[in-house]
Amino acid sequence: MNRIIILVSLCFLFVGNVFAQSASVAAAHPLAVDVVESILKKGGNAYDAAVAAHFSLAVVLPRAGNIGGGGFAVIHTSNAEAATLDFREIAPLAASKDMFIRYENDNSSLTSKLASGVPGSVKGMWDLYIRYGSRNLSWSDLLTPAIMLADTGFFVTKKLSEELNYNSSDFISQNPNGCGPFCKGFIWEQGMRLVQSELAETLKGIRDIGPNYFYYGPVAKQLVEQNYFTMLDMASYQIRWRKPLIGEYMGWEVITMPPPSSGGVALLQLLCGSERDLNTMQELESVASYHDFTELTRIVYEDRARHLGDPDYMNTTTADLLDTSYLYKRFANIDPKRAGKSPNLAVPLSEESSETTHFSILDKDGNSVAITTTLNASYGSKRWVSGFFMNNEMDDFSISPGVPNQFGLIGFEANSIEPSKRMLSSMTPTILVKGDQKVVLGTPGGSTIITNVFHVIRRFCRFGQTLQESVNSKKVHAQAWPEVLYLEEGSYTKKVLRKLKKKGHKIEFKKQIGRFQAVSNGTIAPDLLRTGDSSGRVIFY
Ligand code: GLY
């Protein structure tokens, strides 16, 4: 008996030790994972590693990793401090409500120079470093890996080679003055080396001068010369530290992103709805569950469209939208038998882009950070300045009330275009906390981000699946407009499909929904099943 007790205690000691001494990282490129490992092993914390990974992803994952875009970070430190960092782009000062209406039938909000918001990533990473960095490593140390990857190059993966070939003619047509290696007209193959000398120069400037190199110096001057912004636009960019949204689900604290992301509000609304009395979501992958989920999204995405935007411009508070009596009243109208009807606001969904990128880091001391960052569409506007691609985030505003953006999402006044305003996002970086346990997670996927995060959290917290099983699971998505239930391949049987149609659901199929990156104590769950170069590692140090 005594022997058993000693053995069990030793096991606990060992497991405890693994948790205490290991870090976990999941990201969309193996080189970013290498960078995180090297920073941690040099004495950096999760926040140092996140800054280095963000700059490195701008080099090795140019479709979404960026310095020409923006994003959000959700933070939970080793001493239980929760925070969120909003480094979302802002509309330039000359922007106006109707700036794209005259172009309603073209793609100006996606492809023109007007499509870009003032980028937030460089200031965001600077402020993350200043506020939460360990100080064991300098700013220069954190830029060095990205500079080396840009300067000496790296071997392109199959996925990257395919993307570069696919986008080649757009890169050339969008950049009459060239776009470095992207405009050379190579046929890219896996294993070729991508060197980005212009990007290396820009990163060196940011390393040596700090964010002023970007917002006041040579990068700002380039952006002004090329008619993207004014010097005042660049100089007036500010990040925001925002109070996180914190909910409770199955004994876990859910720490997530407030507006200007819709992600946190929508996620907490969905979690609340899925546990209301009379919910029919007790089983996974059943007709009743898919039906109830679709009806919940009808309500949640309506709130998103009507109320959410830059919080400085919202008339409704997040507390109002998360008030349970408000929500229960809304959910009471769900008919368990028949598909409902979304309010009459929409036109058909345009092609879904699954770009944006997410990475999750938890260090050995328990510092955690979930970052989702984006250029919006893949390679943003595909316009290239000073070595990097510019975002086309202006399309995330409601261009015209009732007119959907590239994700089919609709918005109203709270998300109309105004100078210096932040555009609404769906990015949902989230951290779950229960005692010493943390789960750090998120995914790309435009409008599908919210529902993907919801499904993974539910599977993990409520249905007891492992993190990797939850990430791997086949996803379903709905968003009120268009009135369609999207099913990822493998998420349904013929019988389920038939019965859903009988309830009045229009069904469409998706090859892939999102590309999740999650970690927990001593565990990683990168999305290795879906296409991409996802990678993760438990790091002992
Ligand atoms: N641009 C995608 C998002 O912010 O949700």
Complete DSSP assignment for 170-211: HHHHH-TT--GGGGS-----TT-EE--HHHHHHHHHHHHH-T
Alpha-carbon gap, residue 437 to 178, rounded angstroms: 49
C-alpha 90 to ligand 1 mean position (Å): 13
Which range among 299-313, 339-353, 450-464 shows the weakest confidence by mean pLDDT? 339-353
Quick one: fold of 243-352+428-438+445-540?
Serum Albumin; Chain A, Domain 1 (1.10.246)
User: How would you list the strands of the sheet with 430-434, edge to edge?
Assistant: 245-249, 252-256, 430-434, 437-441, 517-520, 523-526
* Residue 352 reports pLDDT greater than 50: no
Q: What is the pLDDT of residue 98?
A: 85
Distance 447 CA to ligand 1 centre (A): 7
| pLDDT at residue 351, rounded to an integer | 47
Tell me: the pLDDT tens digits for 500-517? 999 999 999 999 999 999
Instruction: State the Cα–Cα distance between residues 103 and 356, nearest whole angstrom.
Output: 25
185 vs 369, more confident: 369
**Ranges of CATH 1.10.246.130 domains, the chain:** 243-352+428-438+445-540
Angle at the Cα of 104 from the Cα atoms of 98 and 109, rounded to 5 degrees: 75
Per-residue pLDDT for 379 more than 70? yes
Ligand 1 midpoint to CA 404 (Å): 13
Query: Taking residues 90-100, what's their average pLDDT?
Result: 94
* Helix and strand counts by DSSP (H, E) for the chain: 18, 20
Please answer whether residues 490 and 476 qualify as being in contact, where contact means their C-beta atoms are separated by less than 8 angstroms: no
Given ligand 1 and candidates 89, 301, 396, which is best to mutate, with the most ligand atoms within 8 Å of its CB?
Answer: 396
Active site residue 357: no
What confidence tier does 5 reach under pLDDT thresholds 50, 70, 90?
Answer: very low
- How is residue 506 written in tokens? 């229009």
Question: Quick check: 534 and 481 in contact, CB under 8 A?
Answer: no
Helices within 462-509 (DSSP H only): 467-472, 494-502
How far is residue 386 from each of residues 19, 180, 360, measured CA to CA in Å?
42, 9, 28
pLDDT for 344 equals 79
Span 238-255, pLDDT tens digits: 999 999 999 999 999 999
Residues 435-463, mean pLDDT to the nearest whole number: 97
- Residue linked to tokens 């609709």: 410
pLDDT of residue 350: 45
Q: Which has the closest alpha carbon to 530: 472, 481, 477?
A: 472
Are the beta carbons of 259 and 424 closer than 8 angstroms?
Answer: yes
- The pLDDT assigned to 9 comes to 44
Residue with the smallest CA separation from ligand 1 atom 1 is: 376
Report pLDDT digits (tens) over 271-298.
Answer: 999 999 999 999 999 999 999 999 999 9
State the pTM of this model: 0.95
**Tens digit of each residue's pLDDT (9 = 90 or more) over 252-265:** 999 999 999 999 99
446 lines ligand 1 (CB under 6 A): yes
Q: Work out the percent of the chain whose per-residue pLDDT is above 90.
A: 87
Q: Structure tokens of 107? A: 């793609």
**Do 527 and 29 touch, CB atoms closer than 8 A?**
no
CA 310 to ligand 1 centroid distance, Å? 13
Which residues lie closer than 8 Å to 9 by C-beta, 6 or more apart? none
pLDDT of residue 59: 99
Which ligand 1 atom minimizes the distance to the CA of 449? 5
Q: Per-residue pLDDT for 11 more than 80?
A: no
Q: Report the 10 Å Cβ neighbour count for 259.
A: 29
Query: Tell me, what amino acid is at 88?
Result: R
pLDDT of residue 355: 80
User: What is the rounded radius of gyration, in angstroms, for the C-alpha atoms of the chain?
Assistant: 22
Q: In the prediction, which pLDDT does 349 show?
A: 43
